[in-house]
Amino acid sequence: MVAIDSKIEQAMDLVKTHLMFAVREEVEILRAKIVDLETTVLRLESENSVLRDHIPADMLSKLLTPPSSNQNTISSVSGPPKATPA
Protein backbone atom coordinates (compact mmCIF):
# COMPACT_ATOMS: atom_id res chain seq x y z
CA MET A 1 0.00 0.00 0.00
CA VAL A 2 2.91 2.37 0.74
CA ALA A 3 4.37 1.90 -2.75
CA ILE A 4 1.08 2.95 -4.37
CA ASP A 5 0.83 6.05 -2.18
CA SER A 6 4.42 6.93 -3.06
CA LYS A 7 3.76 6.56 -6.80
CA ILE A 8 0.58 8.65 -6.54
CA GLU A 9 2.52 11.36 -4.70
CA GLN A 10 5.26 11.29 -7.35
CA ALA A 11 2.67 11.55 -10.12
CA MET A 12 0.98 14.48 -8.39
CA ASP A 13 4.34 16.23 -8.01
CA LEU A 14 5.03 15.70 -11.70
CA VAL A 15 1.62 17.12 -12.64
CA LYS A 16 2.22 20.10 -10.35
CA THR A 17 5.64 20.73 -11.92
CA HIS A 18 4.26 20.60 -15.46
CA LEU A 19 1.33 22.83 -14.54
CA MET A 20 3.58 25.42 -12.92
CA PHE A 21 5.84 25.39 -15.99
CA ALA A 22 2.86 25.94 -18.28
CA VAL A 23 1.53 28.78 -16.11
CA ARG A 24 4.94 30.50 -15.97
CA GLU A 25 5.28 30.24 -19.75
CA GLU A 26 1.81 31.75 -20.25
CA VAL A 27 2.59 34.57 -17.81
CA GLU A 28 5.77 35.40 -19.74
CA ILE A 29 3.81 35.52 -23.00
CA LEU A 30 1.16 37.78 -21.44
CA ARG A 31 3.81 40.10 -19.97
CA ALA A 32 5.39 40.46 -23.40
CA LYS A 33 1.99 41.26 -24.92
CA ILE A 34 1.35 43.85 -22.21
CA VAL A 35 4.67 45.54 -22.94
CA ASP A 36 3.89 45.58 -26.67
CA LEU A 37 0.41 47.01 -26.05
CA GLU A 38 1.73 49.68 -23.68
CA THR A 39 4.29 50.69 -26.31
CA THR A 40 1.55 50.88 -28.94
CA VAL A 41 -0.65 52.98 -26.64
CA LEU A 42 2.18 55.44 -25.97
CA ARG A 43 2.95 55.72 -29.69
CA LEU A 44 -0.71 56.27 -30.58
CA GLU A 45 -1.18 58.84 -27.81
CA SER A 46 1.84 60.74 -29.09
CA GLU A 47 0.58 60.53 -32.67
CA ASN A 48 -2.87 61.66 -31.56
CA SER A 49 -1.37 64.64 -29.75
CA VAL A 50 0.57 65.70 -32.84
CA LEU A 51 -2.51 65.33 -35.03
CA ARG A 52 -4.65 67.35 -32.60
CA ASP A 53 -2.02 70.10 -32.58
CA HIS A 54 -2.08 70.37 -36.37
CA ILE A 55 -5.78 69.99 -37.15
CA PRO A 56 -7.90 73.09 -37.87
CA ALA A 57 -10.14 74.06 -34.93
CA ASP A 58 -13.39 73.64 -36.89
CA MET A 59 -12.44 70.11 -37.94
CA LEU A 60 -11.49 69.21 -34.36
CA SER A 61 -14.82 70.48 -33.05
CA LYS A 62 -16.64 68.34 -35.65
CA LEU A 63 -14.68 65.28 -34.57
CA LEU A 64 -15.28 65.89 -30.87
CA THR A 65 -19.07 66.35 -31.12
CA PRO A 66 -20.95 63.07 -30.81
CA PRO A 67 -22.60 62.07 -34.09
CA SER A 68 -26.37 61.75 -34.18
CA SER A 69 -26.14 58.67 -36.41
CA ASN A 70 -23.58 56.60 -38.30
CA GLN A 71 -24.68 58.05 -41.65
CA ASN A 72 -23.88 61.60 -40.51
CA THR A 73 -20.41 60.51 -39.41
CA ILE A 74 -19.67 58.82 -42.71
CA SER A 75 -20.91 61.72 -44.82
CA SER A 76 -19.12 64.35 -42.70
CA VAL A 77 -15.81 62.51 -42.98
CA SER A 78 -15.98 61.32 -46.58
CA GLY A 79 -18.08 64.09 -48.10
CA PRO A 80 -21.49 63.82 -49.75
CA PRO A 81 -22.62 60.35 -50.83
CA LYS A 82 -21.86 59.47 -54.43
CA ALA A 83 -24.60 58.39 -56.79
CA THR A 84 -24.45 54.76 -57.81
CA PRO A 85 -25.48 53.70 -61.31
CA ALA A 86 -28.83 51.92 -61.36
Amino acid at 66: P
Q: Which helix (H) or strand (E) holds 30?
A: helix 2-54
pLDDT digit string (tens) for the chain, length 86 residues? 778 999 999 999 999 999 999 999 999 999 999 999 999 999 999 999 999 899 888 888 888 888 776 555 445 555 555 555 54
pLDDT score for 83:
53
pLDDT score for 58:
87
| Gap between the Cα atoms of 76 and 58, Å rounded | 12
pLDDT score for 46:
96
pLDDT score for 71:
54
Domain range summary for the chain, segments of one domain joined by + = 25-62
Q: Which helix (H) or strand (E) holds 37?
A: helix 2-54
What is the pTM for the complete model shown?
0.56
| Gap between the Cα atoms of 64 and 48, Å rounded | 13
